[in-house]
Structure 1
Amino acid sequence: MEDKKAMEAIIQYFKDISKIPRCSGNEKAVSDFLLGFAGQCGIEAIQDQYLNIIMKIPASEGYESAPTVMLQGHMDMVCVKTEETIHDFETDPLQLQEKDGFISAVGTSLGADNGIAVAYMMAIAADRELRHPELECVITTSEETGMDGAIGLETENLNAQILINLDSEEEGVFLASSAGGVNNIVKLDVKRGNGYGHECCSQITIKGLMGGHSGSEIDKGRANAINLMGRFMAELDPDVFGIRSINGGTKRNAIADRCCIEIVSSLESVKALEDKARNMEERFRKEFKSAEPELKIEISKASSNGGTIDKKGMEKLVRFLRLVPNGVQTMSPDVPGLVDSSINLGLIRTRDNQIEITSSVRSSLKSLKDEINGRVALICSLIGAEMELEADYPGWEFVSKSYIRDVMKDAYRELSGKEPSIEAIHAGLECGFFKEKMPHLDIISMGPDMSGVHSARERLDKASAERTWDLLVKTLEKIT
């Protein structure tokens, strides 16, 4: 297929899957669609109990003796939208738009992470003219919420010797290592009462933050709305203001761009609350002048139903939010600019008489993950909270010699005349699980230019997506 026609097909495949709701945990429809697509192409395909899809594509003539290659990506996406956007991710198709060479979605995340990988694999499955070894296209589920698909995937019937992961976000940068991670969930029980007169209930909202990916963008110096709200609450006199609820963040693996609290006070105290909101907004905007130009603190009326968290519970919550680590913790001593460990306060939710805080802890070293979780556990012990860990996933360690890395480097030089960059990433990739299950795999990760991933600002560079497709095709041709 000609390059331009191939790219047109790829964009159409991406549009097709964008019509199907595919938030993490809601992949049944898109998984069924992909299974049906494979059948239409005459490709052997398997749908397992986790809704993972495996398509097996025979080797082209002359490639029968080449090593089998696994192409791998995930079908789910992080679903976020702007405050003013009306969109039901359970039922509504994404509204795609193209402007100035970029593809984005109207008011929502785009899902190019990792829908473009799915589109690439669909294009390969449909094109009989491409030259390549035997391929195993593995499309997993729930990558964004714990990599459940990769964890559950049975690999006994997979024969790949090489894995090309298509879940990277920067053209010309080939990843050779990724961080491991774990979800840290803290639960703080609180009691409720009254005592503020219930004359006025206000909502304080910290909003307008950049947000972003809690792995690849944790080092950008961006503010975390949950962290800022902890600082705001610490400024409130508990004898004057009562907290009824706190809710913030959209996903555990996204930097929290918004957080709200409901405050009960006397009518006479509202003016002081408004002054405090203005003063704290000014303070935060000075601190994050470049990183968060749209930061705002808004105050509005809220309904007056429900009791407030008692003073002791509020004190514990504020202490936790003020003491818990957040952001970059250590930098790599060996790789310049690489974050070695981090923690992101991703979610905070009020559930009746309990506050739940979910953080994403990342590091390429298990000992550093354990160190961060140990510090959080110590804080919990001081305030009587419970902590649990879930969805622990392994890192992918760097190896000095790699056949597929050399082949892809040669292909990139041939196409671009430039030298690619070989890097590690402070974000979780499914490569760690595949390496754990299939230790012999020779792995590399690549992808086109994307920005604003895990946010409503997400967009895909169309020209970069085309060049990345050309690189993938050239790389497969060169594997012998």
Structure 2
Amino acid sequence: MDSLNNLEPKLVFHYFEEISKIPHGSKNTKHISDYCVDFAKEHGFDYIQDEWNNVIIKKNASKGYEDAPTIILQGHLDMVCENDKDCNIDFEKDGLDLRVEGDYVYANGTTLGGDDGIAIAYSLAILASEGLEHPALEFVFTVDEEIGLIGATEIDLSTLKGKRLINIDSEEEGIFLISCAGGAKVMCQLPVDYLMVKGLLCEVKVNGLLGGHSGIEIDKKRGNSNIIMGRILHELSNIMPFTIALLEGGSKDNAIPRETTSQILIDVKDQEKFKSLIEKYDKILKNEFKTSDPDVTVTGVIKEQSKIEVLTPKSRELVLFLLRNIPDGVQEMSADIKGLVETSLNAGIITLGHETFSLHSGLRSSIETKKDELIEKLKYLTEFLGGEISVSGIYPAWEYRKESPLRDLFIEVYKEQYHKEPEIKAIHAGLECGIFSNKISDLDCISFGPNIEGIHTTNEKLSISSTKRVWEFIIEVLKRSK
């Protein structure tokens, strides 16, 4: 691990390195939550830790700011855990292997957790710093944001006094977010039956795709390995008989899947047809995704004669029908805001179990009725095939606010420090601001952050220089918040 001790701002990178030593993937936040509580105890701050592991820490106003409006600073404790195939890490027990290269901090072979570790690092640095000028501050650290904004949904905010909330969960410096889509998780399940069959076992893999955050990269036309696999297997069914023994792909409903694997049984006499189709699709996809996913690869490996359980012909057809017909990607663009995705769906995870085939999707829309309509479409499709759906993790959209003193202050400070106008933007990704706005009446929110590239992928990296500029910006905003 490269030490971050020599990076500026020192306190920010010190705490970023400290929390990177603590495993903190979604559903594994107890240790990092306890770390924040221990920090609060050590520094004498009032704190609350709830049963979900959410943490609230409060810091009194500095001299002269006692009558200034309280400000809430907010980020989430969990990170998306993705690793390269050759990286042996146990995300339940191991910390990250941080490296520095040029202007960037990254984690060797894994996601970095800059989303949203940088928010926690900024917050702890502000809490630990003496001599800063600021109003009363309330720090809210939520959990399991990456798997459905669970912590924000469950947290009790009744003890908070603040009506202005700064969410540090954006990845492009100079862009201030003022609205976001709402969303939901939808799981489609089809009942499946198996039979014992003898044949030639083959493995098909789609990999090399870039993937990415389904709320940020969904409009980049990147390939979805689950959908691509459905396409390949469907065409294979048109030219030769086969059965399916294994089908799995993706790891998060909010991450565009990068790799999908299937195992099928074919007749020995169809080996050449199988090889020919795989070669054909490898060329097709390399051409279709040459810009968005230049490293996409389709491989087919012929293994050995086997006698194993496989899907019945009917079950196979139901599974392939769902994969070929489920909506995926951008469904509608906003008619009001140019370039904004209004409604989308990401077919994020597929799993073939002994009794069911499951497809987990992340659905987003800035219009509630469009979200409901897409859920209804999935319900109709799945039930038509004899299955059922379940909907969870529903969260509201964060609606644009015409009058925003916090936004005005951000713009004023930004123009003075950067000598240019910031970009004010609505996004398709979900943010906790929508939930907080529902819980705290008349809440004035804004979301921003330093430059982080490749979030939710093993290419994630945090800009050092941007982290420093944003730190200086935050401190000036707090200073001006009288």
Asked if TM exceeds 0.5, the reply is: yes
Q: Which moved more, 1:433-442 or 1:268-277?
A: 268-277
- For 2:120 and 2:341, how far apart are their aligned partners in 1? 29
Matches of 2:85 and 2:307, distance apart in 1:
24
2:403 aligned residue (392, 401, 406): 401
Partner letter of residue 107 of structure 1? Answer: G
Deviation at 1:236, TM superposition (A): 1.8
Counterpart of 1:352 in structure 2 is 354
In the alignment, the residues of structure 2 paired with residue 305 and residue 363 of structure 1 have an alpha-carbon distance, to the nearest angstrom, of: 46
For residues 306 and 424 of structure 1, the distance between their equivalents in structure 2, rounded to whole angstroms, comes to: 51
Partner of 1:280: 281
Q: Given the alignment, which residue of 377, 380, 384 partners 2:379?
A: 377
Give the secondary structure class of the aligned counterpart of 2:219.
coil
Q: Please tell me whether the aligned partners of residues 182 and 362 of structure 1 are also in contact (alpha carbons under 8 angstroms).
A: yes
- Could you say what secondary structure the match of 2:352 adopts? strand
Identical aligned residues as a percent: 39
Alpha-carbon distance between aligned partners in 1 of 2:264 and 2:420, rounded to the nearest angstrom: 57
Cα shift at 1:463: 0.7
1:381 CA displacement: 2.3
Contact 1:6 1:123 in 2 (8 A): no
> Which stretch has the larger CA shift, 305-314 or 386-395?
305-314
Please list the CA deviations of residues 308-349 of structure 1 after superposition, one character each: whole Å capped at 9, or x if unmatched.
Answer: 111111111111111111000111111111000100011001
C-alpha offsets along residues 127-158 of structure 1, whole Å, 9 cap, x if unaligned? 01111100000000000001111111101111
Alignment of 1:54-133 (within 5 A): 54-133=56-135
- Alpha-carbon offset, residue 37 of structure 1: 1.1
Equivalence for 1:232: 232
- Judge conservation of contact 1:262–1:302 (CA < 8 Å) in 2: no
Q: In structure 2, give the amino acid aligned to 1:254.
A: A
Q: Deviations over 1:354-412 (max 9, x none)?
A: 11100000011111111111111121122111111001001100011100000011111
- Mapped to 2, the partners of 1:405 and 1:10 lie a distance apart of 24
Among 38, 41, 44, the alignment partner of 2:43 is 41
Distance in 2, Cα, partners of 1:316 & 1:36: 53
* Closer/same/farther in 2, CA of residues 380 and 464 from structure 1, 3 Å limit: same
Contact 2:215 2:430 in 1 (8 A): yes
Measure, in 2, the Cα distance between the counterparts of 1:19 and 1:289. Answer: 38
Residue correspondences, number: 475
User: Counterparts of 2:8 and 2:161 in 1: how far apart (Å)?
Assistant: 28
Contact 2:75 2:119 in 1 (8 A): yes
- Of 387, 390, 402, 2:389 maps to 387
Task: Please give the alpha-carbon distance, in whole angstroms, between the structure 1 residues aligned to 2:172 and 2:227.
Answer: 29
Which residue number in structure 1 is paired with residue 209 of structure 2?
209
Please say if residues 245 and 264 of structure 2, whose CA atoms lie closer than 8 Å, have aligned partners that are also in contact: yes
| Cα distance in 2 for residues equivalent to 1:268 and 1:128 | 76
SS in 2 for 1:306: strand
Q: TM-score, normalised by structure 1?
A: 0.97
- Aligned residue for 1:264? 265
Classify the secondary structure of the residue corresponding to 1:60. Answer: coil
Runs of 4+ in 1 over 3 A off after TM superposition: 301-306
Structure 1 window deviating more from structure 2 (106-115 vs 82-91): it is 82-91
Aligned ranges for residues 276-425 of structure 1 at < 5 Å? 276-301=277-302, 304=306, 306-425=308-427
Distance 1:23 1:305, change over 3 A: farther
Tell me whether 1:222 sits opposite 2:243 in the alignment.
no
Offset, 1:301: 5.0
Q: Is the 8 A contact 1:94 1:110 kept in 2?
A: yes
Moved more, 267-276 or 139-148: 267-276
Q: Secondary structure at the match of 1:237?
A: helix
Cα distance in structure 1, aligned partners of 2:383 and 2:32: 44
Distance 1:176 1:301 in 2: 52
Q: Contact 2:189–2:358 (CA<8 Å) still a contact in 1?
A: yes
- 1:34: Cα distance to partner? 0.9
